[in-house]
Amino acid sequence: MIRIAIVGDIGSGKSYVAKCFGFPVFNADLEVAKIYKNNKKVFQKLKKELPLYFESFPVKKKEIIHAILSNKRNLKKIIKIIHFEVRKKMYNFLKKNKDKKFVVLDIPLLLENKINKKKDVLIFVESKKSEILKRLKKRKNFNMKILNNFKKIQLSLDLKKRKSQFIIKNNFKKKTVKIRAKEIIKTLI
């Protein structure tokens, strides 16, 4: 199995690019949302670690935002609790898809949390800063302070780009991205 790992800036369209490959995708952001909604143990850990911010199950986005904005150390505490569960879900995904030739990992903090393996094929998604900001502002609950807090814990884009074997320039046109994805797959086969 070849693991394709998608890396890049917040809002650059990593999930969009991941889907364009046409292989099973592990989307960490979707898994995190499910964990907040369905995992009572995670809620209990968050409530124990940050009792001022988490009141009732399921975990609400506004509670997470309030915790992150109140104290910059809270983000790391939340990530520590959540990423343990995300890793378990990723291992289950990999086990379920072990017979597939390719899988795609869409995990925003892949390199930061050392989830990648040496043989993973890293693909850097490059988008125009103006386009990224325009897209982020359309998101529900967009908050510049939260965005900046996440950027502080991420590796630099230059480093991610240097570590990547391929670059996809995402102009948010599916046809262009799919063509580039096919070129990359041909190279890997």
Q: Which of 28-32, 114-118, 142-146, 169-173 has the highest average model confidence (pLDDT)?
A: 28-32
Residue 69, pLDDT above cutoff 80? yes
The residue among 178, 132, 120, 180 whose CA lies nearest residue 157 is 132
At 147, is the pLDDT very low, low, confident or very high (cuts 50, 70, 90)? Answer: confident
Percent of the chain with pLDDT over 70: 99
CATH class for the region spanning 2-188:
alpha beta
In this structure, of 21-35, 76-90, 141-155, the range with the lowest mean pLDDT score is 141-155
User: Is the peptide bond between 24 and the residue preceding it cis, with omega within 30 degrees of 0?
Assistant: no
What pLDDT does 130 receive?
82
C-alpha angle 8-81-5 in degrees, rounded to nearest 5:
25
Say if CB 89 and CB 97 are below 8 A apart: no
Type and span of the H or E element at 26: strand 25-27
pLDDT for 139 beyond 80: no
User: What DSSP string describes 118-141?
Assistant: TT-EEEEEE--HHHHHHHHHHSTT
pLDDT at 175: 80
Taking 80 as the threshold, does the pLDDT of residue 144 lie above it? no
